[in-house]
Amino acid sequence: MSFPNVDRKRRALITGGAGFLGSHLCDRFLAEGWEVVCMDNLITGDLRNIEHLTGRADFRFLHQDVTEFIHVSGPLDAVLHFASPASPIDYLELPIQTLKVGSLGTHKALGLARAKNARFLLASTSECYGDPLVHPQREDYWGNVNPVGPRGVYDEAKRFAEAMTMAYQRFHKLETRIVRIFNTYGPRMRLNDGRALPAFMSQALRGEPITVFGDGSQTRSFCYCDDLVEGIWRLLHSNEPLPTNIGNPHEMTILEFARKVRELTGSKSEIVHKPLPVDDPKVRQPDIGKARRVLGWEPKVPLEVGLSRTLEYFRTRIARGEEVR
């Protein structure tokens, strides 16, 4: 579904826009000729991710918490809600903030979209499926989530956000889209954000032991950020209001992934094993049949290419002596 014609540049608000994925979305929308308002409270975001955009007339940064009252002057055509801690380290350290941004933050962002008559897109997650009993995971699977476990603050925040988004779609007739994002990687990830790729890559580059939780037989599917952004762009312009998986269906074990990163970096780091975290999913693989059918989308960037681009970014940061917080 294309946007109605307007006699001005289209304008989007991206919450969490200084984060890993949010900043790549800012780049894409600007490249497509949109104006972008980037909102971030910088709890997990980083101004370095958007420093190349500062000074542009079509880009504006708002240092603001989306869980509080938000006001954006002027028209908006789209609101993309990407604000949230997204790694286990973050949401275990910030459990209340994680719950608030999924509930209050989603409410505020939806209210703004409604006031501006803008199309709303929610960044949801494959964590809605929990430790799945169905494999691969399709959008019609309701999941296997522990609401009172340590990961529940993130899982349930996103599940609630989906429910609220659908309520606005059904009750207020707001145009909404929901993307369920599977494991994504690429430049601008934080070296110490706790997810597999930045952990493995930073450890390998520093010659430290590579930490694998459990025996490493748990599986993940890794999608390069450019592919994900393309899927989100297509979903926003589609007619699909129900959740849609966007991810790479190529599944591999965490141990295989650790070995691949070690090989790519040329590291001599040993692989060590630590206890598996509570409620850690044993398998994770998206069924992207819907994305292929509805959006004409599937990932294009091979793992080796994406890993090489990411490695170059991490090497540069470490060479500068920078710690990505």
**Catalytically annotated residues:** 154
Query: What does the chain come to in residues?
Result: 325
Give the list of residues 6+ apart from residue 62 with CB closer than 8 angstroms, or none: 37, 38, 39, 40, 72
Going from the C-alpha of 124 to that of each of 9, 38, 59, 171, the distances in angstroms are 27, 19, 25, 20
